[in-house]
Amino acid sequence: MPRHDPERIGDYRLAELLGQGGQGMVYRALSPSGGDVAVKVLHAQMSGDPDAHRRFFRQVDLARRVAPFCTARVLDMGLHDDRPYIVSEYVSGASLDHVVRNDGPRSGSGLDRLAVATATALAAIHRAGVVHRDFKPSNVILGPEGPVVIDFGISLALDHTVTRSGSMGTPGYMAPEQISTGPVGQAADVFSWAATMAYAATGQRAFPGDSIPVLLHAILHRDPDLSGLPAGLRSLVAECLAKDPDSRPTAADLVRTLTGDGQARTLVARTVTGEAPAPTGVGPGDGPAATAPSAPPVPTRPIRRRVLIGAGAAMVALGTAFTLPSLLSRGDANGSPQRADTSPTGVAKASQAPAFGAPVGSPLTDHMNDVRSVAIGRLDGKPVAVTGSDDQTARVWDLDTGARLGAPLAGHTGWVRSVALGEVDGMPVAVTGSDDHTVRVWDLHTGKQVGAPLTGHTDGVKSVAAGKLDGVPIAVSAGADGTTRVWDLRTRKQLGGPLTGHVGKVWAVAISEVGGVPVAVTTGDDKTVRVWNLATRKQLGASLTGHTGWVRSVAVGDVGGVPVAVTGSEDKTVRVWNLATRQQLGAPLRGHTGWIWSVALGEVDGAPVAISGSEDKTVRVWNLTTRKELGAPLTGHTDSVWTVAFGRLGGRSIAVTGSRDETVREWNLGPPYPS
C-alpha cells in the first residue's frame, strides 16, 4: 500500500491498491468477517455537498437491486473523509481489456460464453431500472466462475449528482447519443456491449481513430468495421451498433437470441398501432407469468364532443359533464376493498370503517428518490397508481395490495416529473415527462416504451396530460423552456407550433373543455394561469392573475355545472377559477404554512373537494361548496408533499400522495366523514 493511502475505509481494512482512474481509487479490502471485497473511493468533487451525497447514494442504491446474474454485487456504501465510497463483491481475475491486449482476441465457445454472460448481466441491470453508461472491456472481469460485469450504476450516479448535464462514458465504447448529449438510456448500454464484443472478437475497436475527435466522429458518422467477427455474431452486433437507439434490440432480446430460444427479437421501436409483444426478459418473474399490467386504464366515453381528458397527475373531472368513470371510479362498495378495511369475504364492513384521513395500508416504498407525480387508473379491473420519481423511473402499483406491478418503466435519464394515463388505439399507455427534455410513452400491457421519445422541448418537461382531440390521441407537455406542446400519439409528431406566452418555466398543464372548445390550462413561474384553445393554439382572453408567487400545479373539472381550474402556489394559497369567465371564484383557500406543490379535484360524500399537498408536509382537503377545510390535515409524510391525486377504492374516496420522503401513501377520505 502506498504511504498516503488510508489503512481503513469504514469497516473495511485495505489490503492493496488495485487501480485508479477518472472516478476514483479502487482497493482490495477485507470485510469485518475477513472476506475480500472491492472498495472504490471516489474523487473529491462531491466533498462538502450533503445533497449531492444523498442523491448519489440513492442512485447507487438502485444498483444494489440488480439480480446477481454475472454481476459484481454492490454490498455497501458510505463516506470517508467526506468522499463517497462503494463496496462491492471482489472478483479475482483480469479485465477483458487486459486479457485481449496480452493474450489476443476471444474466439469459439469462449467468445460465445462471454457474449451470453455479459448480455445476461446487462439484462439484469436494466431490469432493476439501472443504466450502466460505461460498459467497456475494462468493466468486464474474467473471473474464475466466468465473466462478471462491474461498476454498473456508478457513472449515472456521478453524472446525476456532479455534472447534471452531458454524459459519462469511455471513447470507443460510447453510443452516439452519449457524444451528442442526447437522452441516454438502456439502448446506449446495448451499443457499448456490441462495441465491447467487437473488441473481444478482433482485438480492434469497431470504430477506428487515432485521436478522440476522430474516434467520436467515426461513432457518429461511420459504419463499424466488423470484418473480423464470426458470422453468427456479426449481424447481431451490427444491429446493436445502429446510430438510432430505437433501432437497437434490448438486452433481454440479446439473451434470447444468443441462447437460441427460437423466438424473434422484439425491438423497442414499433408503431403504436402494431401488436403489442409479450414481455421478454431473463430471470425470475419474467415471461408470461410476470406481473405486468394487462388491461387498459382507458376512458369509456368522450367528454362532450372534442376532448377526452386523460387521468394525468393532479387532474380529475367532477360532476356529470367531465367524468372519467373507467379511469377514476372505483365502483360501488362491492368492488375491491381497501387493504386496511376488509372482511374475510373481501367486503368492507361499516363497523370497521377507518376515520377520515386515516392511512390505507402501509406506505409504498419502492422508489429510491423523491416521488414527483402520481396518476390513478384501472388495469385489468384493478385500481392502480402510476408514479414518477427522481430515480428516473415510473412504477405501476396495485392499490388493493400495495404491490408493484411489473418492472419499473426505465429509460429516462432525468427526473420523471409527471405521469398521465391514456389510450392509443386500444393500447393503454402511460405518458411521462422528464428533466431529460423528453416525453415518453409506455405500453402498460408490456411495460415497454412505445417508439422513440417525443423531443422538441429544449429544457426539462415539468408536466404532461393525455387525452383525445377530435378523436386523435394526444399528449400535452409543459416545459422549463417556457413552452407548452401538443403531440399526436399516433404519428408521434408535434401538432402545430408550441404555445408560448408564459415568462419563465411552465410548471403544470391540464386539459379540459369550455363551452365546447377544447382547452389546455397552464401555470408558471410568472404567477399566472393561462387558458389555451387547443384547436387554434391561441390563448383565450387575458391571463388569470391573483397569485403572488409561482404557480406549480393545476387541476381542472366541473363544479355545479361550472368548468373550473384549481391552482396551488408559492403564496401558500389554493385558488379556484371559473374557466368560462376567467375570474377567481371566492377567496383563496388558506391554511398551509408552506408552498403548495400539487392540487387535485375529487368528490367526497357528494361534495366537490380540492386536495392540496405542501412543503409543510401536510395534505389538506377542501370542501369547495362551503370553502372550509374538511377535517384535520393529513399527516404522516416526513418531507414535502410533491404530488396528490384523487381516486376511489372499495367504494370509498381516497387520496394518493407522493413525497420527497420517497414514499407513496394512500388516505381514506370517507365514509365516515368528519363532523
State the pLDDT at residue 342. 34
Q: What are the C-alpha distances in Å from 405 to residues 266, 285, 294?
A: 21, 11, 10
DSSP symbols for 512-552: EEETTEEEEEEEETTS-EEEEETTTTEE-SSPB---SS-EE
247, 385: one domain:
no
Whole-number Å distance between alpha carbons of 424 and 401: 28
Strands (E), 10-145: 12-20, 24-30, 36-42, 74-80, 83-89, 94-95, 140-143
Task: Name the DSSP class of 26.
Answer: E
pLDDT band at 336 (very low <50, low <70, confident <90, very high): very low
Q: Are residues 259 and 343 in the same domain?
A: no
How confident is the prediction for the chain on average, in pLDDT?
A: 80
Q: How confident is the model at residue 265 (pLDDT cuts 50, 70, 90)?
A: very low
Domain final position from 242, 269, 296: 269
Q: Report the range of poorest mean pLDDT among 258-262, 538-542, 572-576, 666-670.
A: 258-262
For 149, the grid coordinates are 460485469
Higher-confidence position of 185 and 502? 502
Q: Which of residues 269, 296, 320 is at a domain's end?
A: 269
Domain assignment present for 1: no
pLDDT at 155 over 80: no
Exposed e or buried b per residue across 634-672, where buried means at least 16 C-beta atoms within 10 angstroms of its C-beta: bebbeebbbbbbbbbbbbbbbbbbbbbbbbbbbbbbbee
Three cell numbers, residue 212: 478522440
The verdict on 312 and 253 lying in the same domain is: no
The C-alpha atoms of residue 292 and residue 161 are separated, in whole angstroms, by 31
H or E, element range at 500: strand 499-500
Grid cell at residue 627: 370553502
Q: Residue 652 pLDDT more than 90?
A: no
Residues 78 and 129 in one domain: yes
The answer to whether residue 279 scores a pLDDT higher than 60 is no
Same domain membership, residue 315 and residue 264: no
- Residue 507: is its pLDDT beyond 60? yes
- pLDDT of 139 over the 60 cut: yes
Considering the domain architecture, whether residues 313 and 254 belong to the same structural domain is answered as no
Closest CA to 536 of 559, 520, 523: 520
Residue 452, CB-side half-sphere exposure with 13 Å CA sphere: 14
Q: Does the residue 95 lie in any domain?
A: yes
Q: Is the pLDDT assigned to residue 227 strictly greater than 60?
A: yes
Say whether 612 sits in a helix, a strand or coil.
Answer: strand
Question: Based on the structure, what is the number of domains in the chain?
Answer: 2
Q: Which of 270, 621, 317, 260 is nearest to 425 (CA)?
A: 270
Same domain, 249 and 330: no
| Alpha-carbon span 303 to 364, nearest angstrom | 33
Confidence of residue 72 (pLDDT cuts 50, 70, 90): confident
Specify if 17 maps to a domain.
Answer: no
Whether the per-residue pLDDT at 499 is higher than 60: the answer is: yes
Q: Report d(CA 623, CA 403) in Å as an integer.
A: 32
pLDDT category, 345, cuts 50, 70, 90? very low
Give burial (CB, 10 Å; 0-12/13-18/19+) of 113.
middle
Domain boundary among 269, 292, 319: 269
Please tell me the predicted confidence (pLDDT) of residue 673: 57
Q: Same structural domain for residues 86 and 166?
A: yes
Query: What's the CA gap between 562 and 577, in Å, rounded?
Result: 10
**Residue 522 bridge partners (DSSP):** 509, 530
State mean pLDDT over 228-244. 93
Residue 205 resides in a domain: yes
User: Do the beta carbons of residue 281 and residue 290 sit within 8 Å?
Assistant: yes
Residues 230 and 337 occupy one common structural domain: no
Q: Is the pLDDT of residue 308 over 60?
A: no
In a domain? residue 206: yes
Residues spanned by the domain of 211: 42-269
| Sheet with 404-410, edge to edge strand ranges | 371-379, 382-389, 393-398, 404-410
pTM of the model: 0.57
pLDDT (mean) for 51-65: 63
For residue 492, tell me if it sits in a domain: yes
Bridge partner list, 341: 338
Q: What pLDDT does 314 receive?
A: 32
Asked if the model's pLDDT at residue 322 lies above 90, the reply is: no
In degrees and rounded to multiples of 5, residue 269 shows phi and psi of: -75, 120
- Where b means 16+ CB within 10 Å and e means fewer, 419-435 reads bbbbbbeebbbbbbbbb
Give the cell for residue 470: 377530435
46: confidence class by pLDDT, cuts 50, 70, 90: low
Q: Which pLDDT tens digit goes with each residue over 591-619? A: 999 999 999 999 998 899 999 999 999 99
Name the band, by pLDDT with cuts 50, 70 and 90, for residue 126. confident
Residue 63: predicted pLDDT: 59
- For position 453, which CATH number holds? 2.130.10.10
- The predicted pLDDT at position 182 comes to 63
Asked if residue 391 is part of any domain, the answer here is yes
In a domain, 286, yes or no: no
CA distance to 251, 254, 318, 319, 437, per residue, from 602 (Å): 42, 46, 6, 9, 31
Please determine, for residue 301, whether its predicted confidence score (pLDDT) is greater than 90: no
One domain for residues 258 and 316:
no
Do 436 and 534 belong together in one domain? yes
Rounded distance between C-alpha atoms, residue 88 and residue 71, angstroms = 10
Question: Residue 80: which CATH number?
Answer: 1.10.510.10
- Give, in order, the Cα–Cα distances in Å from 655 to each of 404, 602, 604: 18, 9, 11
Are 252 and 334 members of one domain?
no
Taking the CA atoms of residue 488, residue 493, residue 499 and residue 502 in that order, the dihedral angle to the nearest 10 degrees is 110
Contact 239, 229 (CB under 8 A): no
